[in-house]
Amino acid sequence: MTPRRPTTEHTRIQHRHIDFLVIGRGIAGLRAAIELASRGTVLVVSKRPADEPWRRSPLPRLIDQGSSEYAQGGIAAALGGDDSAARHYRDTILAGRGLCSPKAVDVLVTDGLRRVKELIRWGVPFARTGRTLHFARESAHSRRRILHARGDATGEAILQSLLHRLRQCPTVRFFNHHFTIDLLVNDGRCSGALVQDESDGALIAISAKAVILATGGAGQLYTRTTNPTVCTGDGMAMAYRAGATLCDLEFVQFHPTALAMETAPAFLITEAIRGEGAVLLNAPGRQRGGRRFLFDYHRAGELAPRDLVARAIWLEMARSRRPCVWLDATHFDPDYLRGRFPTVYAACLRYGADMTKEAIPVSPAAHFFMGGVVTDTNGASTIPGLYAAGEVACSGVHGANRLASNSLLEGLVFGWRSARSALARCGRLQPARPSVQRRLAAAAIDRVNASGSVPSPERLSAMRRELQALMWRQVGVIRTETSLEQAMAGIDRLQAHAAGTPHDRPGLELRNLLELGALVARSAWQRRGSIGSHYRSDYPTKGRGWRRHHTVRSPTGSTGGAES
């Protein structure tokens, strides 16, 4: 049966009033909610499956859903005796290839120390040797500074700690299994959002003094990605439609080592394994002619920055005409591997690969967006009342290439800072009236309901796969002017066919992916040069004007200017 699009004539829009709205429940969203909870009511909206009806307002069980839960390697913090925030700052700047914001990086590495010490006080079980914290090593770090927990389940351990804190906050509610359709902007200020309850399709206009976007990235733009299925660029697309400025969308980080087996998803094989001494081979094993090849491309070998390692693997695959390379950790003690990397070991074993006995097939996969919603160092976007933190934001901390294990740190630091800023700037405001919010929500519904026939669910899935394949082929690890023009033309064609997407999650996610995919491809086309994660074989050098940041803003968005 073809789904029907709801219209303002037959759809009743409910209204909810809240002091602060947080969209997303990863590390950035939960840390923001903790900070906001003492100063008002807080609603955390996410696509994660519902545990119980929201009216009973239980805090959810932790399940694997967003990117934060999947974070394996750890969180970077210069807490070691031979380390310093200055060294961490320098490593981050070098990895970002000169395009980081020095002010934002300074905030990250200095505030990060305080926030990580806070996690330690809150009981996150970071690994220790005796009573001393154990630090792992990852690519492009000049020191061992990666704190990790439960072997390679750091993100999950941190989120459990944050959820434990939130259990002590009666002012916080969760709307699970709710999809945020669009932000609501009233007289140039973000006044809330329109969300849909996925269990019954009900539409709810939420009024809030401030909105914090913490929706994560958009790895689902690509066929091969380490991201879970919820990472569809919703926050970036919504912010763009609302009129916020986005920046650096051409910088998509491809993780060098994702599991490459026909029967398996592109499961992340953490960089920490290479940091401990695993090597990459161009054949299944040394006994089968496998050779370490990364030193052919960079003097740091397996510990080169991620963009260089991913590109080297891509080129080696093309040279050898093989679909992958192999990560060899068989020289480790098996018990050490199983204890230090239990998540990776179990995942590989599930698909028939025993990393203690054989090299693991790996290849690059889309992993992290350096670009996103432009913010200042306090998380404020160019729309008053709208804040962004974590991967959805572009604060300038990553530049052209993210330093390993700075992502959890970014979410922690800027989740906290955005909440503090929202309290200071918006705490005395009154949320918009219900009648205003319903009017704005009705307009948002009308924008969704474009003319055209509604595609079947099967056609929607096919269009999503077609977009992913197009982005993977034409806007992937290596790009050209021709490939990017082909991508833009292909996305235009898909957008025309998707004009009548249904008012449900698959249709709305496709809408967001198509909109963001077009912006990514155009940003990559505009940067006629290569730097960091953006590599164009037709412009292999940085090119003129390489320090310029490419920004985009919707011509139809309605904003009232930036907060200072």
**DSSP letters of 171-184?**
TEEEE-SEEEEEEE
**Strand pairing class (42-45; 75-76):** unpaired
Catalytic residue among 5, 145, 189, 306: 306
Where does 18-73 have alpha helices with state H?
27-36, 67-70
Asked if residue 355 lies in contact with residue 328, where contact means CB atoms within 8 angstroms, the answer is no
Asked if residue 235 lies in contact with residue 66, where contact means CB atoms within 8 angstroms, the answer is no
- Listed in order, strand segments (DSSP E) in 142-270 are 146-147, 172-175, 178-186, 189-197, 203-207, 210-213, 246-247, 252-259
Rounded to 5, what percent of the chain is helix, strand, coil?
A: 40, 20, 45
Asked if residue 392 lies in contact with residue 373, where contact means CB atoms within 8 angstroms, the answer is yes
Kindly give, in sequence order, each residue whose CB lies less than 8 Å from that of residue 121, ignoring residues fewer than 6 positions away. none
Question: Could you confirm whether 306 is annotated as catalytic?
Answer: yes
Tell me whether residue 56 is exposed, middle or buried, using C-beta atoms within 10 angstroms of its C-beta: 0 to 12, 13 to 18, 19 or more.
Answer: exposed
**DSSP letters of 454-489?**
PPPHHHHHHHHHHHHHHHHHHSSSSB-HHHHHHHHH
Residues identified as active-site: 306
